[in-house]
């Protein structure tokens, strides 16, 4: 902390060139070589802030007062300060994007978007051509002073992104009344400044001559990424680069444009749901033609109110397994988690959670309980040991011949941990490959309703095809209930009665 404080101290005396040179991480033979470098950078058309970057200075406060110092320095030498768009930063560190008006524009856009947040991180995307330009300037400097600008010093060059934050971050934070964080881990809210430039990709085209990967003509933004251009610049010899690209770089005609966006970390809400309809699918059922087969879906009925509370852009629904459209989800319900993408609201009270629960439960066919905030890592809990989980069902069955309670008991009561072999059911063959799997049925019990109808209660390994176990799917499942009872059986209705997962925490809120 104290280190950070020290480099932020604003010198109260006027900046002297001697003082500025003492901040540079570069080893200078003498003061004159330092001065010559500054004059050279100015003559290439590099702005004062970029000058400081190339001098490997990371004193944050000096970046704010750099213009005055530079003007004074050049005046002494009877030289004039370059007034063009900077050939290194393309304007990012110059007047337009570092003055109060620009910060006000960010604040105005942010206020209009109405986000809840405590601190923020500014994420900056730069035109990829700034890498070509930086490389070109570095080579030019190295040409003139090999000792000062050796490859080893390259890492000390201050980054354009950091410099923008040093100049603007604190002021922005002060105006917003929030802390400006320097690492993305420390803040859940991100202000993205996406700078782009007219010729950003065109300037990289010369790299195509040497690198195969650039010749695969996809769109430019996919081909010329920061990492691909970085790799190319490391591999390319200095002489070759000089042949491809002018050194120092040309003075740009236009400055960057910027797009301001905001992004909030996802929020997660978990719970358990019941489904009381045999006509409701878990996810929206949309045909290839775009036509909807069902009016709503479990996930929409559950998530719409949650999404609207958090004012999220969208949501991702995940549950511990799923049931077919015509299967009811009874008992304590099925655990689920909802990821709310880019929420504008980040808090929810217990009573608001209760209100949302009530609101969801006013809808026919659906019920929710145990609604609570969760973590991203909880998403794994739904998937962990998926195959080992137990599920319990009740199935309303029919037998071709009459069957008594005694017969049901005598044939089923001894069965424990029964292995069944199942081929992919015919009804799902159109969307799944034909494969073969073995699943466990842990317990079986039946209660006679009348001579040809009974209810089957069973607990099975997750992923067992229950309908097929009952009617055998033309012999594709063996053994089947029919083969065990010695009579043709079919399933009329199926309910899931329990999903064996001790998460999320049971809150004991009332049932619907």
CB 407 within 8 Å of CB 485: yes
CB of 275 to Zn ion, least distance (A): 60
Q: Reply yes or no on whether 304 is catalytic.
A: no
Instruction: Quickly list DSSP for 446-501.
Output: EEEEETTEEEEEEEEETT--HHHHHHTTTTTEES-HHHHHTS-EEEEEEEEEEE--
Which residue stretches of 10-99 are H helix?
Answer: 17-23, 31-44, 48-54, 66-76, 95-98
Residue among 171, 324, 365, 490 flagged as catalytic:
324
Tokens of 30: 């003498």
Tokens of 54: 């190339």
The residue to which tokens 């859940």 are assigned = 188
First to last CA, the chain: 55
Q: Give the chain's largest Cα–Cα span.
A: 111
Q: Quick one: 84 or 363, whose CB is closer to Zn ion? A: 84
State the angle between helix axes of 298-310 and 350-361 in degrees (0 to 180), rounded to the nearest 10: 150
Q: How many angstroms separate the CA atoms of 368 and 274, rounded?
A: 6
Q: Quick one: 88 or 303, whose CB is closer to Zn ion? A: 88
Q: How many angstroms separate the CA atoms of 120 and 177, rounded?
A: 11
Computed over its alpha carbons, how large is the radius of gyration of the chain? 34
CB of 93 to Zn ion, least distance (A): 4
Q: Which stretch binds Zn ion (CB under 5 A): 47-55, 186-194, 312-320, 385-393?
A: 47-55
Give per-residue burial for 299-317: e unless 16+ CB within 10 Å, then b.
bbbbbebbbebbbbeebeb
CB of 53 to Zn ion, least distance (A): 8
Instruction: Quickly list DSSP for 317-348.
Output: EEESS---TTEEEEEEEEEEEEEEES-S----
CB of 158 to Zn ion, least distance (A): 11
Q: How many angstroms separate the CA atoms of 198 and 252, rounded?
A: 10
Binder of Zn ion out of 20, 26, 41, 47 (CB under 5 A): 47
Of residues 357-416, those binding Zn ion (CB under 5 A): none
CB of 163 to Zn ion, least distance (A): 9
Q: Which stretch binds Zn ion (CB under 5 A): 22-30, 50-58, 218-226, 361-369?
A: 50-58
Q: Quick one: 69 or 117, whose CB is closer to Zn ion? A: 69
CB 370 within 8 Å of CB 270: yes
Q: Quick one: 98 or 462, whose CB is closer to Zn ion? A: 98
Of residues 75-114, those binding Zn ion (CB under 5 A): 86, 88-89, 93
CB of 24 to Zn ion, least distance (A): 17
Q: Quick one: 90 or 403, whose CB is closer to Zn ion? A: 90
CB 328 within 8 Å of CB 278: yes
Q: Quick one: 257 or 314, whose CB is closer to Zn ion? A: 257
Q: Is there binding between residue 330 and Zn ion (CB under 5 A)?
A: no
* DSSP one-letter code for 431: T
Q: Quick one: 93 or 158, whose CB is closer to Zn ion? A: 93
Residues binding Zn ion: number (CB under 5 A) = 6
Hey, how many other C-beta atoms are within 10 angstroms of the C-beta on 266?
17
Q: Is there binding between residue 50 and Zn ion (CB under 5 A)?
A: yes
Q: How many angstroms separate the CA atoms of 285 and 211, rounded?
A: 46
Tokens of 259: 């797009």
CB of 97 to Zn ion, least distance (A): 10
Q: Quick one: 93 or 395, whose CB is closer to Zn ion? A: 93
CB of 377 to Zn ion, least distance (A): 42
Q: Quick one: 93 or 496, whose CB is closer to Zn ion? A: 93
CB of 251 to Zn ion, least distance (A): 12
* DSSP one-letter code for 272: E
Q: Is there binding between residue 158 and Zn ion (CB under 5 A)?
A: no
Phi, psi of 475 (to 5 degrees): 80, 5
Tokens of 415: 């069965």
216 class by beta-carbon count within 10 Å (0-12 exposed, 13-18 middle, 19+ buried): exposed
Of residues 168-197, those binding Zn ion (CB under 5 A): none
**Residues contributing to the site for Zn ion (CB under 5 A):** 47, 50, 86, 88-89, 93
List the catalytic residues. 324
């Amino acid at each position: 902390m104290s280190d950070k404080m020290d480099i932020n101290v604003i010198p109260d005396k006027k900046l002297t060139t001697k003082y500025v040179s003492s901040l540079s991480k570069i080893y200078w033979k003498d003061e004159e070589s330092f001065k010559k470098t500054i004059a050279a950078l100015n003559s290439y058309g590099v702005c004062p802030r970029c000058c400081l970057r190339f001098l490997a200075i990371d004193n944050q406060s000096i970046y704010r007062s750099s213009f005055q110092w530079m003007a004074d320095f050049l005046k002494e030498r009877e030289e004039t300060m370059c007034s063009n768009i900077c050939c290194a930063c393309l304007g990012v560190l110059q007047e337009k994007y570092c003055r109060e008006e620009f910060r006000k524009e960010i604040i105005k856009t942010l206020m209009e978007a109405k986000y809840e947040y405590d601190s923020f991180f500014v994420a900056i995307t730069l035109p990829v051509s700034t890498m070509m330009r930086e490389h070109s300037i570095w080579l030019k400097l190295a040409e003139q002073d090999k000792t000062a600008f050796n490859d080893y010093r390259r890492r000390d060059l201050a980054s354009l992104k950091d410099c923008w934050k040093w100049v603007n971050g604190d002021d922005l934070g002060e105006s917003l009344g929030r802390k400006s964080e320097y690492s993305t881990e420390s803040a859940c809210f991100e202000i993205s400044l996406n700078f782009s430039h007219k010729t950003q990709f065109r300037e990289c085209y010369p790299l195509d001559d040497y690198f195969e990967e650039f010749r695969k003509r996809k769109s430019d933004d996919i081909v010329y990424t920061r990492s691909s251009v970085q790799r190319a610049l490391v591999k390319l010899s200095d002489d070759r680069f000089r042949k491809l690209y002018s050194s120092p770089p040309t003075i740009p005609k236009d400055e960057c444009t910027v797009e301001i966006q905001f992004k909030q970390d996802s929020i997660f809400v978990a719970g358990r749901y019941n489904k009381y309809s045999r006509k409701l699918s878990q996810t929206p059922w949309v045909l290839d033609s775009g036509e909807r087969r069902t009016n709503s879906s479990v996930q929409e009925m559950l998530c719409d109110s949650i999404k609207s509370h958090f004012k999220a852009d969208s949501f991702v629904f995940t549950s511990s397994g799923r049931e077919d459209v015509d299967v009811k989800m009874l008992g304590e319900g099925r655990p689920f988690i909802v990821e709310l993408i880019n929420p504008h609201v980040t808090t929810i009270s217990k009573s608001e959670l209760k209100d949302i629960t009530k609101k969801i439960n006013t809808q026919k066919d659906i019920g929710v309980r145990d609604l609570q905030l969760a973590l991203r890592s909880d998403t794994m809990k739904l998937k962990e040991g998926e195959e080992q989980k137990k599920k319990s069902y009740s199935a309303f069955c029919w037998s071709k011949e009459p069957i008594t309670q005694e017969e049901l008991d005598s044939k089923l009561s001894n069965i424990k941990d029964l292995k069944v072999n199942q081929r992919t059911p015919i009804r799902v063959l159109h969307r799944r490959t034909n494969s073969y799997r073995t699943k466990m049925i842990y317990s079986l019990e039946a209660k006679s309703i009348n001579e040809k109808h009974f209810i089957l209660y069973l607990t099975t390994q997750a992923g067992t095809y229950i309908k097929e176990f009952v009617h055998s799917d033309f012999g594709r499942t063996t053994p089947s209930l029919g083969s065990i009872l010695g009579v043709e059986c079919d399933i009329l209705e199926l309910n899931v009665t329990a999903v064996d997962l001790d998460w999320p925490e049971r809150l004991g809120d009332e049932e619907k």
